[in-house]
Amino acid sequence: MAIPELYQEILIDIFLRLPAKSIGKCRCLSKPWRAFLSSPEFIKSHLARNSHKQNLLLISAANSIHSIDTIKERTNSAKIKLRSDWLEFVGSCDGLILLVNKKGEIFLVNPVTLQQRRVPNSPLSLKKRFSFTVHGFGYDSSTDDYKIVTLSYYDPECEYEPDCVDTFVDVYYVKKGFWRRVENSPYDHSAPDRASGVLLNGALHWLASSPGTGYPSVIAAFDLAREVFDEIPAPSGMNMDFVFNSLHVRGGCLCMVDYQCNARKSIWIMKEYGLAESWTKYGIGWYDGILKPLCFVGDEEFVLITHEALVVHNVKDGKSRDMVVDGVQDAFIDGGIFVGSLLSPTFS
Amino acid sequence: MAAETGTPTTLTLKSNDDELFSVAESAAILSVTIRNMVEDGCAGGVIPLDNVDGKTLASVITYMNGISAIPADEEKKKSYRDKFLSDKDFETLADMVLAANYLNMSCLMDAVSAKIAQVMEKKSVGWVRRKFGIENDYTPEEEAAVKEEHKWTFEGVETDDDN
């Protein structure tokens, strides 16, 4: 490279600070820089350096995807040129996003590099007409692989398999490229809102109910390394009907948002992971008619969809404001946060 | 240290183009390189800084004085740094990052590197090559191919007509 040794080290440090999108440009500088900036080591360092910078990805009512890098009242989104009828944002990890389209097909997408990979259905997947399916996506550091976890069970109303109450668990190993069925979930995942798994501490979390006496509600945590469920204690003293609760991550802590209609809204935060006594309740006043709580962006801003608008609620000052994206208020159906990275969903 | 009399110790720094600068020791030791010289007792006379020119050193000393006058308040220090760097052009920033590296001033290094990254973000490939002296070893065909492959990166990049 035509740069003195000393300068080169400084230049690498500067490159590590650039957003992923600008790194692509720097790969066009020269062959040696292209090789360096494409190496798995650089991509990993860049991700580590930038993992605190959160972007928001939204799915529009017209089923296209849009990214937003700063949350403010009036903002513009960048339409991401990956075409499908996108329906659901499952989750994101290290800049890869798992999306589901209207046909129920799942895709791993990097919204920065515009790479996408269709994930094949599990050979054991249940017929869509007769069953329900939820997904989760995360990283298992013990095997250095990304995993997609699918929970599926027959519709109890269906005549096809009326007596089967099992919840099947299938794991897709993203780098290796195959599915494996693991032990069934011991929990009933049918009661609450069919939400995607929430990634924290190497586990995917779902609200579920325990098959024990009285069907107590629990947080079921699927450990991505051991591939078994653990139980995370729910807050004691809260209304244990999880129908109007949703699970999120805020500031590295598991948190539960209670958005029941006509009740005082609250957020529970588990300050120390796994420790029942660490659940702390915060009262919040906000909009009625929340359709879907989406995600926290940073520690303070909570994004949700109401009947009329996309709303950002600041949990610190208790104020809510409508978010107008590209001049439109209510054009989004799902979304979540991601970090901009150079990781390829194909790992090639 | 002249702690007894209360008079601050002053150091004399010499740039590589022989300019002399007086600076309070308390400000100058933000540079680990200078602090080591002071601790080793080499700071009695004039401290020669062979890798920094007078123009850059003057700027670094302005920064040293400014930042050391701010009490331990990270937010105020950050806003001082932002303001200090806001009007600097790329050449000045490049000189400063090399000076900060030589003087071993991590806070300045960090701030200047971040500022350079911010300036670079939307610049063209040609601009980055020129500013960093990077030789283009692609053939025109290869360059067209690599740019096509990285089409996603070129949205919002400035056209290549600015300095």
What backbone phi and psi angles, to 5 degrees, belong to B78? -65, -40
Tell which wins on pLDDT, A75 or A193: A75
CATH numbers and ranges of domains, chain A:
1-50 (no CATH), 54-339 (2.120.10.80)
Model confidence at A192: pLDDT above 80 = no
Q: Are strands A310-314 and A96-101 parallel, antiparallel or unpaired?
A: unpaired
Contact A129, A122 (CB under 8 A): no
Q: A28–B143: do the CB atoms touch at under 8 Å?
A: yes
The single residue listed with the structure tokens 């989760």 is: A136
pLDDT in tens, A218-237: 899 999 999 999 999 888 76
ipTM of the complex: 0.88
Between A234 and B140, the higher pLDDT residue: B140
- The B residues from 84 to 123 touching A (CB cutoff 8 Å) are 97-98, 101, 113-114, 116-117, 120-122
Mean pLDDT, range B21-45, rounded to an integer: 87
Write out pLDDT tens, residues A125-163.
887 777 889 999 999 999 999 999 999 988 777 666 666
Q: Is B128 on the interface with A (CB under 8 A)?
A: yes
State the DSSP H helix or E strand holding residue A122, giving kind and residue range, or none if neither: none
CB atoms B113 and A30 under 8 Å? no
Is the predicted pLDDT of residue A51 greater than 80, yes or no? yes
pLDDT band for position B162 (cuts 50, 70, 90)? very low
Across the beta sheet with B46-48, what order do the strands follow?
A: B20-24, B10-14, B46-48
Nearest residue in A to B137, CA atom: A30
Question: Which of A94-108, B12-26, B40-54 shows the lowest mean pLDDT across its residues?
Answer: B40-54
Q: Tell me the whole-structure pTM to 2 decimals.
A: 0.88
Phi, psi of A314 (to 5 degrees): -95, 115
Task: Look at residue A300 in the predicted model and tell me its pLDDT.
Answer: 82
CB within 8 Å: B152 and A113:
yes
The confidence band for B21, taking pLDDT boundaries of 50, 70 and 90, is very high
User: Is the pLDDT at A78 greater than 50, yes or no?
Assistant: yes
Residues of A in contact with B154 (CB under 8 A): 24-25
Residues of B in contact with A67 (CB under 8 A): none
CB distance A67 to A59 below 8 Å: no
Q: Range with the lowest mean pLDDT among A133-147, A267-281, B39-53, B80-94?
A: B39-53
> From the list B120, B143, B147, which residue is nearest A18 (CB)?
B120
Rounded CA gap, B58 and B22, in Å? 10
Token readout for A206 is: 């779902």
Closest-CA distance, A118 to chain B, in angstroms, reads 20
Q: How far is the C-alpha of B80 from the C-alpha of B77, rounded, in Å?
A: 5
Quick one: which H or E segment has residue A285?
none
Alpha-carbon span A186 to A202, nearest angstrom:
19
CB contact set of A51 (below 8 Å; sequence gap of 6+): A94, A339
For position A126, what pLDDT does the model report? 84
pLDDT for residue B81: 93
Best mutation target, A28, A34, A52, to test chain B (most B CBs within 10 A): A28
Q: Is the pLDDT of residue A26 over 50?
A: yes
Percent of chain A scoring above 90 in pLDDT: 46
Residue A182: band (very low, low, confident or very high) from pLDDT cuts 50, 70, 90: very high
Q: Give the domain ranges of chain B.
A: 10-120
Give the C-alpha distances (Å, rounded to integers) separating A238 from A216, A256, A271, B73: 12, 11, 16, 41
Residues A229/A188, Cβ–Cβ less than 8 Å: no
| pLDDT band (50, 70, 90) for residue A343 | very high
Secondary structure class of A128 (helix, strand, coil) = helix
CATH assignment of B10-120, among 2.40.30.10, 3.40.50.800, 3.30.710.10, 3.40.50.300: 3.30.710.10
Answer whether A101's CB lies under 8 Å from A113's CB: no
Q: CB of B152 within 8 Å of any CB in chain A?
A: yes
